[in-house]
Amino acid sequence: MQTHDIHFVFVGNNAAVDFINTEIVSRGELVDLLQNDADLIRWARETGFDIKSRLTAGDLPAAKQLRAALKELCQARIDQRPAGRSSLVVVNQHLQNHATHEVLEADPDTGDYELVPDKAASSVTALLANLAHEGAVLLASPQATQLKRCGNPECVLIFLDTSRNQKRRWCSMDTCGNRAKVAKHYRKQTR
Ligand SMILES: [Zn+2]
């Protein structure tokens, strides 16, 4: 399958969660949307990181290793169990590269301010450090209890449920939510 036929999904409400969600299930098969360097650059660009430096041979494997570690930590959190120590080690390695350099950005509509990482001079190292940081901040915060798996057992996506009533069940209403609705409707019809 050509991965560029499949769009990246941004349903996580957190960059690290969206990064984890670059592994999806499509037609019953687990598909890695980060098949090559170009995919990683494209994903980064869609999250606002314009990677300017040339990728080295180790960058994509490092990205996937971090993704696996973040996934393990989030899955463990969802299951309320301790995660493997090796995942912590990987995330902590990337945290060492996290620059505290942030920029103040103003929302043009509301005038609200937000401190965000400086994404201007981006390398894969900076991208991964930033993702490790986003994930670490989330995992260490009370918000971690809002991490959920999509309610479709065939789906592997996770998300942060930021809805007010904490009742979000699906990665997306357009895909898994809609499928569940159709299945329920069909069961009613055939009863
Ligand atoms: Zn889903």
CATH number of 55's domain: 1.10.3300.10
158 closest CA partner among 170, 176, 145: 170
Q: What separation in Å is there between the alpha carbon of 150 and the centre of ligand 1?
A: 5
181: confidence class by pLDDT, cuts 50, 70, 90: confident
* Per-residue pLDDT tens over the stretch 84-138: 999 999 999 999 998 777 889 999 999 999 888 777 667 999 999 999 999 999 9
Q: What separation in Å is there between the alpha carbon of 115 and the centre of ligand 1?
A: 31
* Per-residue pLDDT tens over the stretch 33-69: 999 999 999 999 999 888 988 899 999 999 999 999 9
Q: What separation in Å is there between the alpha carbon of 122 and the centre of ligand 1?
A: 31
12 closest CA partner among 123, 161, 163, 189: 161
Q: What separation in Å is there between the alpha carbon of 137 and the centre of ligand 1?
A: 24
Give the total number of structural domains in the chain: 1
Assess contact for 108 and 97: CB atoms under 8 A: no
Q: Which residues constitute the domain of residue 78?
A: 3-190
pTM of the model: 0.87
Pairing of strands 113-117, 102-106: antiparallel
CA–CA distance, 148 with 77 (Å, rounded to integer):
9
Q: Dihedral angle at the C-alpha atoms of 23, 172, 48, 59, nearest 10 degrees?
A: 0
Q: Tell me what the mean pLDDT of segment 23-40 comes to.
A: 94
- Residue 166, Cβ density class (10 Å: 0-12 exposed, 13-18 middle, ≥19 buried): exposed
What would you report as the CA-atom Rg of the chain, rounded to the nearest whole angstrom?
Answer: 18
Query: Which SS3 state, helix, strand or coil, does residue 131 take?
Result: helix
Which H helix or E strand runs over 20? helix 15-20
